[in-house]
Chain A
Amino acid sequence: MQIIISNSSKEPIYEQITNQIKSSILAGELQEGTAIPSMRNLAKDLQISVITTKRAYEELEKAGFIYSIVGKGSFVAEQNLEVIREKKLKVIEEQLGAVISNSREIGLSLDELQQLLKILYEE
């Protein structure tokens, strides 16, 4: 499991950890049932405090990404990827809706918008 912490980021360290573990799970790099390092081991490896990894794991548990068994450790929980994908799609639709209405306000054409999106996407 790879995690990279940035000390200069505005994002708190525990959020950097939750976000990176979340994306590893969503990308399928961490399979369901895989054991993840104990929070004390992770703290040692990342050279951060135990309470930070503890908080990250607690948030991941709350969001249903991992589960912990006392004395055994933490594991990747079963993910309903279909549902997550649908949720994400819905969010994207909403965001695109906002983009379209903003574009109309300043008279940006569909072609121009598509071109802009293309440039940004390939960046």
Chain B
Amino acid sequence: MENVVELKNVTKKFKGFSVENIDLQVKQGFVTGFIGANGAGKSTTIKMMMNLLKPDAGEVKLFGLDYKTHEKAIKERIGFVYDGNVFFEGLNLKDIKRIVAPAYKHWDDKIFLKYVEQFELPLNKAIKTFSKGMQMKASLAIALSHHAELIIMDEPTAGLDPIFRRELLVLLQELMLDGNRTIFFSTHITTDLDRIADYIALIQRGQLVFNKSIHEVAESYALVKGGMDLLDRDTEKDFVHIHRASTGFEALTDNINAVKNTFGDKVVIERASLEDIMYYLKGGMHHV
């Protein structure tokens, strides 16, 4: 089984907001970063993956199984981390473990205690006294202690300081040593992904723009910079969006070869960062 998560034509409509016709595959053994601006539909998509929301139309499958018939089997194999704390605030970590652990067939106390020690988490203090970073570490310790094959995280790095974000990324990389494990996480901090993501899925205004390996992304998009005199109706066709200034233009292209043919050495062609891609795609998507 190559795809751990498979969304086919998934649609969910709310008042004034909808996620439409999402086709998304998450490949086993890799890290997929799910990016998009706030409100683009990341959380909604993740909730449908977790069966917290049921799609109006389309199919959601995890490990090739359907939630209707295999809800428990699927959730046994998922470790989850959400943006906010979902654990009972008044309880300490020991009591939370007492509630969560029996839910899983493969809960492993040794691993849990190892992470508690590694993250320097107090077992006897109420969760509500934890800092944002500690709450996140506590969620992570719980998510990682039942031999989950798929780790789903919704904005795990939001509100964390850079040092802890970096530590988290190192930890995730250690988890990936096990080739069967898959990580899917959403973020709007694209620099988190530069280091560890294998695949990038970009969602904008409720629609999936692409889901590509980082190499495909690097090969399909580029930033082009040049003088304003180069632009006309014909040459502009190869750009997704153009930012014009008196000093010259900067534009995103999804057709690097065409740009090279048209302009040759007259323009500078640079690698586009994920942030560049998000920014320019948001400005205009006339032929994506």
Which A residues lie at the B interface, using CB under 8 A? 10, 12, 14, 40-41, 43-44, 47-52, 55
Contacts and interface: CB of A to CB of B under 8 A. Distances in A.
Contacts of B198: 49-52
Contact of B215 (A40, A43, A51): A51
Interface in B206-226: 213-215, 218
B189 interface: no
Given A12-B218, A55-B215, A50 B31 contact: yes
Interface string B218-236: 1000000000000000000
A51 B173 contact: no
A13 B169 CA distance: 18
Nearest to B31: A49
A33 B215 CA distance: 30
B265 interface: no
Nearest to B175: A44
B177 A48 contact: no
B197 A49 contact: yes
Interface residues of B, number: 20
A57 to B, nearest CB: 13
A51 B214 contact: yes
A50 B29 contact: yes
10 contacts: A10-B271, A12-B215, A12-B218, A44-B173, A44-B177, A47-B169, A47-B170, A49-B198, A50-B29, A51-B213
A13 to B, nearest CB: 9
Interface in B169-198: 169-170, 173-174, 176-177, 179, 195-198
Given A12-B215, A51-B213, A52-B214, 17 more contacts: A10-B271, A43-B173, A43-B176, A44-B173, A44-B174, A47-B170, A47-B173, A47-B195, A47-B196, A48-B195, A49-B195, A49-B196, A49-B197, A50-B29, A50-B198, A51-B214, A55-B215
B112 interface: no
Interface string B26-60: 00011100000000000000000000000000000
Nearest to A49: B198
Describe A's contact surface by its main secondary structure. helix
B80 interface: no
Contacts of B107: none
The 4 A-B pairs of least Cβ separation, nearest first, read A51-B198, A44-B173, A49-B198, A40-B177
Nearest to A10: B271
Interface in B7-37: 29-31
Contacts of B196: 47-49
A47 B29 CA distance: 16
A50 B176 contact: yes
A43 to B, nearest CB: 7
Given A49-B31, A51-B214, A40 B195 contact: no
A59 B173 CA distance: 23
A89 B179 CA distance: 42
Contacts of B173: 43-44, 47
- Looking at B169, B213, B218, the one whose CB has the most chain A CB atoms below 10 A away is B213
Contacts of A52: 198, 214-215
